Amino acid sequence: MKRSIKAGADVLLSDPSLLGELGRYSSVGLVTNPTGITKDARPVFTELIDRGCPLAALFSPEHGVRGDAQAGEAVEEYRDPATGVPVWSAYGPAKARALEAAASLDCLIFDIQDIGSRYYTYQYTMLDFMKAAADRGIPFWVLDRPPVIGCRAEGNILDRAFSSGVGRVPLAARTGMTIGELAGYLNVTEDIGCALRVIPCEGVRRGMFFDEGDLPFVCPSPNLTSPDCALLYVGTCLFEGTNLSEGRGTTKPFELFGAPWLDSAALLRELGAMTSRGMLPGCLFRETAFVPTFSKYAGELCRGIQIHLTDRDLYRPFETGIRLVDLIRRLHPEEYKARSFLANLYGSDAILKDDFSPDAALAEAEPALAAYRERTAAFALYGE
């Protein structure tokens, strides 16, 4: 039986005292996207308007308020056709104008489903608005949402020298926090000091995956189609920094990866040898072929691998990702290419070096990861 869950938005909308507090502001802005829905799948911004909230502006992250923009695609300002509320894009060239518009309001609300990965842009959109709120003394409310892949921190910690739009602050590759917990953590560790208020979920436990609860799942972005996909993404997103397809343009993005030049049979043999030694638990690897309809190798036949999860609790996505990158680099020293973006994703340039060793990298990352887990525990909102 699925757990009965109320997201922070549902908690807010069912609490007259919280709605009364919002009603005392003259203008409220909401940072949201298609994941900002109620338990009965209605957009939170329409529910707020129906309850008398003075909603003056909507702000969209990457992919837009209604999720109709692909990765990296700029979104222009417009008025939402259903409500007439102005929508400002907080991603790309229009971000400065959006933050300026936000600073003119009396209260800001953030309601977006995060996935729990460092290399994802939504938490950095939240960070920008937290800073804007702090600069102007504006209250900043975060409506928390359940974890998609459980709250277990994994991987290395980003080196600030490799900060970018997909990883701006020293977080673990798998952050181990909900978006509300992350807001509390960043508010302190990044010395933002905004007037933060987090509305927690009800019924959540830390280790749960989103589909263990009874809330409707909305793709957080166009190519993250399920909690399993989001878990795999923590590892296979690294392929975005290489000349391998990460499966964009297929029905299984981040579950499939490959390239026209990849010897998938040889790779499968190597992976089989590793799994027979007890490495890479919680999954099966299957040789496959696919033709992306867009993104890398669009229209070309790719030889590749599909990862099938067998135990989400045992699966270690970050370790699997760096071992795959290393294996393919050694199998195809001429064909495999990496670009500097891989260092931004990985959080350092170690993965670009010829002597990169996954074993050494994981061992080196462990002390910092242990300290990170201890720091983030102070901001936990939910028990096991």
**Domain range holding 51?**
8-218
Give the pLDDT confidence of 22-40 residue by residue, as tens digits: 999 999 999 999 999 999 9
Please report whether residue 375 resides in a domain: no
Q: How far apart are CA 29 and CA 45, in angstroms?
A: 10
CATH number of the CATH domain containing 136: 3.40.50.12170
Statement to judge: residues 77 and 139 lie in one domain: yes
Q: Is the pLDDT of residue 64 over 80?
A: no
Mean pLDDT of the chain: 95
Give the pLDDT confidence of 278-308 residue by residue, as tens digits: 999 999 999 999 999 999 999 999 999 999 9
In this predicted structure, what is the pLDDT of residue 364? 98
Statement to judge: residues 212 and 232 lie in one domain: no
In this predicted structure, what is the pLDDT of residue 65? 73
Statement to judge: residues 99 and 199 lie in one domain: yes
| Per-residue pLDDT band at 62 (split at 50, 70, 90) | confident
Statement to judge: residues 162 and 251 lie in one domain: no
CATH number of the CATH domain containing 324: 3.90.1150.140
Statement to judge: residues 41 and 182 lie in one domain: yes
Statement to judge: residues 205 and 245 lie in one domain: no
Please report whether residue 362 resides in a domain: no
Q: Is the pLDDT of residue 17 over 90?
A: yes
Please report whether residue 304 resides in a domain: yes
Please report whether residue 359 resides in a domain: no
Statement to judge: residues 213 and 247 lie in one domain: no
Statement to judge: residues 241 and 109 lie in one domain: no
Q: How far apart are CA 373 and CA 171, in angstroms?
A: 10
Give the pLDDT confidence of 242-256 residue by residue, as tens digits: 999 999 999 999 999
In this predicted structure, what is the pLDDT of residue 81? 84
* Domain tally, the chain: 2
Please report whether residue 250 resides in a domain: yes
Give the pLDDT confidence of 320-343 residue by residue, as tens digits: 999 999 999 999 999 999 999 999
Q: Is pTM, for the whole model, over 0.75? A: yes
Statement to judge: residues 179 and 59 lie in one domain: yes
Please report whether residue 380 resides in a domain: no
